[in-house]
Homo-oligomer: A and B are copies of this chain.
Amino acid sequence: MKFYDCKPAPSPRRVRVFMAEKGIEIPTVQVDLRNGEHLKPEFRAINPHCTVPVLVLDDGTRLVSTAAIWRYLEETRADPPLMGTTATEKAVIADTQWRIEAEGFMAIAEALRNSTPGMKDRAVTGPVNYAQIPELAARGRQRAEVFLGRLDEMVGTKPFLCGDRYTVADIDAMIAVDFAKWIKLELPAGAANARRWYASVASRPSARA
C-alpha cells in the first residue's frame, strides 16, 4: 500500500491519527499542497480529484476520501475498533461523524477557502476552479462558531464523544477543533465539558501523528 499525505492539512491527519491508534504503518508520500503539487499532471494521474489523503491498495485500487480509507483500515485491522462494535454503536458513531463533517469541517473549510488570499479561485477542492464568495466565508464562520458551541453538549459528561470508548468521532472532532484555529476560532471559554474532552484526546500520543 501507499499513502499520499500532506503533513499540515487536516484531512490526511484524520487518517494518520486513525492509523496511529491502530498501530498501522504505511509507506507515505508527501504532497506539497501549498505549492500546487496536487494540481500537476503527475498527481492527477494518481487522483484526478486533486485531493489528499489517497490510499493506494496493493491491487491498485485507489481510495480518495477519508471516509473510504477509514472504512478499509477498520475492516482490515479490526483491533482496536474505532468505528463501533455493535450495530447501535456503529450507527451512533456514523451519526456523530456526519454532524462533525457537515457542521464542523465543511463550515470551517467554507470560511477558510472563501477568504484566504492564497486560495483565490480555489474556493472548492478539486480540479475545477471556483471563485471565492465572501458572504459564504462569513456564513461558514458563523456556522463553525455554532458547531464549536454545540460540542460541549455533544460530549456532555462522557469520557469520549460517543461514550466510554475512544472512536473515530473523537479523531474527527479533535481535528475539527484544530482546523478551526486556522480561522481563529476556538472552543468557547465556558465549554467545560468540551475543553476537558479536548485536553484528553489531544494528549494521546496519536494526536501528534
Where the two chains meet, the residues of A that have a C-beta atom closer than 8 Å to any C-beta of B are 49, 57, 59, 61, 63-65, 67-72, 75-76, 86-88, 90-92, 94-95, 97-99, 103, 106, 123-124, 126, 128, 130-131, 133, 135-136, 139, 142-143, 146
Chain B residue numbers with a CB within 8 Å of A123 are 139
Chain B residue numbers with a CB within 8 Å of A69 are 91
Task: Kindly list 20 other residue pairs between chains A and B, CB separation below 8 angstroms, not including A63-B92, A75-B86, A133-B136.
Answer: A61-B92, A65-B94, A67-B97, A67-B98, A68-B92, A68-B98, A70-B94, A71-B90, A71-B91, A71-B94, A72-B88, A75-B87, A76-B87, A106-B106, A124-B139, A128-B143, A128-B146, A130-B139, A133-B135, A135-B135
- Tell me which of B72, B91, B146 contacts A91 (CB under 8 A): B72
10 contacts between A and B (CB under 8 A): A57-B88, A64-B95, A67-B94, A67-B95, A72-B87, A76-B87, A106-B106, A130-B139, A133-B136, A135-B135
Closest-by-CB residue of B relative to A127 is B146
